[in-house]
A = this chain, B = another copy of it.
Amino acid sequence: MLKPYDFANEVADCARSVEAALDRYLDRARLSGPGPAAERVVAAMRHGSLNGGKRLRPLLVRQAAQVFGVSPEASLQAGLAVEAVHCYSLIHDDLPAMDDDDLRRGQPTVHVAFDEATAILAGDALLTHAFAILAEESCHPDPAVRIALVAELAAGSGAGGMVGGQMRDIEGEKGGFSNGDIETMQAMKTGALIRASVRMGAILGQADPRALSAMTAYAEAAGRAFQLADDILDVTATSEAMGKATGKDEGRGKQTLVGQLGLEEARRTLEAMVADAVMALRTFGPRADGLRSTARYFATRKN
């Protein structure tokens, strides 16, 4: 019999596992290639990834895998790959040519702590090693599963996913975005990697097409909720609670749903998104309680 799902404990345990596994992986010896990894780029990769992040994407991989009976240990490596992609995207997004942020989680960003060239290279290397991590036999014994994970992560991260969303976001700063354009941009910029995380968990669990489709519906609703909550926090939270600058969306003319809908309507929309996410899991039993808790957490988080 399953114990009632202890969300806070699960989040903390997952974050600890990811931090420790990233630390082990980023040990120079593991960054295999024909030559010895350059110490400076490895130090920058560590700075940009071993930073006490919440590790929500590996949590989603783990919780989605759990729906199909896959243990947290067996889903950790796939979660690590998604987190490496997330960390690379933050390093590149923080660059002067992009969002030009000096602080992340209260620490200097990678291009401030090192320099721009090193930050570009550290991001490139984290992205590259995400795929190396998925290719290792320890990720899953079946090569067909591992290559499906590679395909899923690449689709979520590329021009039709995260990178495409970031491009649309930059273009949107010029103005003229409709609500639909904002939703497409956000579905790609943050939603695509959340979607890939959930689907990678399902792929690890060798979910059948119907289950994969339900998991995808969950992921898309949860991803929308995550982004809308982020936009609401940008308006309402203090910079101290977030560990980064807030109020910056309006400051740089970024168009968000909160700006278009107003705060009250945005909060109602957020509730509806969470309800959609939970509804998508209705055919799964208590093994999906993790995913249910995470969707609710997305709407209530304070940072």
Contact = CB atoms under 8 A, between A and B. Distances in A.
Interface of A: 31-38, 40-42, 45, 88, 92, 95, 97-98, 115-118, 120-121, 123-125, 127-129, 131-132, 134-136, 143-144, 146-148, 150-151, 153-161, 163-168, 170-171, 184, 187-188, 191-192, 195, 220
28 contacts: A31-B164, A33-B156, A33-B159, A33-B160, A34-B155, A34-B156, A34-B160, A34-B188, A35-B164, A36-B164, A37-B158, A37-B164, A38-B168, A95-B117, A97-B116, A97-B117, A97-B120, A123-B124, A124-B124, A125-B163, A127-B127, A128-B157, A129-B154, A132-B151, A132-B154, A135-B148, A143-B146, A147-B147
A160 B146 CA distance: 22
B192 A160 contact: no
A97 B115 contact: yes
A105 to B, nearest CB: 22
B124 A92 contact: yes
The interface centre, meaning the residue of A95, A120, A136, A192 with most chain B CB atoms within 10 A of its CB, is A120
A163 B41 contact: yes
B158 A129 contact: yes
Contact of A35 (B42, B153, B192): B192
- DSSP majority for the A interface? helix
A37 B160 contact: yes
Given A97-B117, A121-B167, A143-B146, 17 more contacts: A31-B160, A32-B160, A33-B160, A33-B164, A35-B161, A36-B164, A38-B188, A41-B163, A92-B120, A97-B115, A118-B167, A123-B124, A125-B163, A127-B127, A128-B157, A131-B150, A132-B150
Nearest to A196: B34
A135 B160 contact: no
Contacts of A192: 33-35
Given A98-B117, A117-B170, A158 B128 contact: yes
A167 B120 contact: no
A80 to B, nearest CB: 14
A159 B116 contact: no
B151 A135 contact: yes
Nearest to A129: B158
A46 to B, nearest CB: 11
